[in-house]
Structure 1
């Protein structure tokens, strides 16, 4: 008989949602072993995120760098699909939670997933470095593969609105500052800048790092695995989503679509035509 069969109903129930994250019972809340009352007022929100995801409290500088990454990507205006959706949902009379959920649900591979893709890309290069390949060769080999076998763009580079994404240089500058103080290694910044330089050589023009490529550098330096970076982006962008949903809810617009009502879509279907007449029309 299996151990499962030998366990009591209570034991099975306790193990059903077993977790290392939180212990809770009447009068007690512990997160990763820490009493909640000991954390409140002593631990910043970025540090709390770190504790919940990683299981240990970060150093002060680690928490600061995580906060920098989270703060950089909070908003990009109503032309960003997630923000536009939050605002449209708010005009439909739904609650703020529904407006936020509607927006967050579109943060997928195309809108919101590039940071995860960029860090996975950097990680392939980092693995090659660990195997003894030089940075230049590791970058060149990975770019050869991405252009030949996968897709025509490199995650983390270029922006459809900004010739130079104003957030990226500042994030790299701060990464270099933290590396100079020994908080992080600076390895992922080296990788990102080498990728940017190699793509510039291949394309004959500079395609700068964007917010996704830059935040991927910070998350990589801090040791977060690529899938978590998408969740971190969702946390970050939720701030802007909340702000826009709230602002829109305070305005008078109702049932606002993606365009003003006098701007209609282009119809490309069959031209107007008569309904076919037949002997059975009266049936």
Structure 2
């Protein structure tokens, strides 16, 4: 194997590094330290450019909104249980992260994919929304990701605040507002289809923001995972401080019901 082939083995445009020098996407690390925020750094690493302050503010709002949803969330519960099993904080966090999949943690990416699909359809928005929803249901079932919440009824308190920030950003020209309108149209159509109003949830609102900012739909899951990592760390650390050994999902005095 030639030296060029070896150097191409992990070819990357993300980091350029040699002894005494580190550059991320062409920016020397010393120029970034103290001059960009952590959300701006995330954007730079995954996108290759730096957002302006208004874009970074909206992006940061989406990240802040999804950091935690309590020990009833499987990912958080898993991290807390892992913390009682003698593993390190990073292992407890990884245990929780590995719980994030299509059902728990995947709705934002799914909703973003639906919104991008609707945006690409020709014709009036209402017709595009109906067609997009019909195709989604035919492929994935009747539940539409990003709308309704099994716990927060009738309103997920995070969503209205995020949507208000999107509307303000659109008014200032930071984003187009197109995906906010798509999200609202989807919300109305689902309500009309079921005969009762339905609210957008955190996954729908963050999907709107990520789409407005131009993030590809699959990245939404990774961005959610970054956000939720904060909650995983906090809960794993809290559980470590509280102590306890080998805590399972139920107190030892309560045994699962035998159904055999």
Band the TM-score falls in, shorter-chain normalisation: over 0.9
Equivalences for 1:99-248 in 2 at 5 Å?
99-128=92-121, 131=122, 133-163=123-153, 164-248=155-239
Matched position secondary structure for 1:24 = strand
Counterpart among 10, 13, 21 of residue 20 in structure 1: 13
Query: Aligned-pair distance for 1:148?
Result: 4.2
| Higher radius of gyration, 1 or 2 | 1
Pairs aligned (count): 259
Runs of 4 or more consecutive aligned structure 1 residues displaced over 6 Å after TM superposition: none
- Rounded to whole Å, the distance in 1 between the matches of 2:160 and 2:74 is 25
Query: Aligned-pair distance for 1:11?
Result: 1.8
Q: 1:91 to 1:21 in 2, by over 3 A?
A: same
Matched position secondary structure for 2:175 = coil
CA-to-aligned-CA distance 1:116-146 (integer Å, 9 cap, x gap):
0000001111001xx3x11111111122233
Matched position secondary structure for 1:23 = strand
Matched position secondary structure for 1:250 = helix
Q: Which residue number corresponds to residue 89 of structure 2?
A: 96
Q: Is the 8 A contact 2:147 2:198 kept in 1?
A: yes
Are residue 249 (structure 1) and residue 245 (structure 2) matched? no
Q: What residue ranges of structure 1 are gaps of 5+ in the alignment?
A: 1-7, 270-283
- Rounded to whole Å, the distance in 2 between the matches of 1:224 and 1:197 is 25
TM-score, normalised via structure 2 length: 0.97
**What is the root-mean-square deviation of aligned Cα atoms in Å?**
1.0
Are residue 54 (structure 1) and residue 47 (structure 2) matched? yes
Q: Is the 8 A contact 2:100 2:225 kept in 1?
A: yes
TM-score, normalised via structure 1 length: 0.90
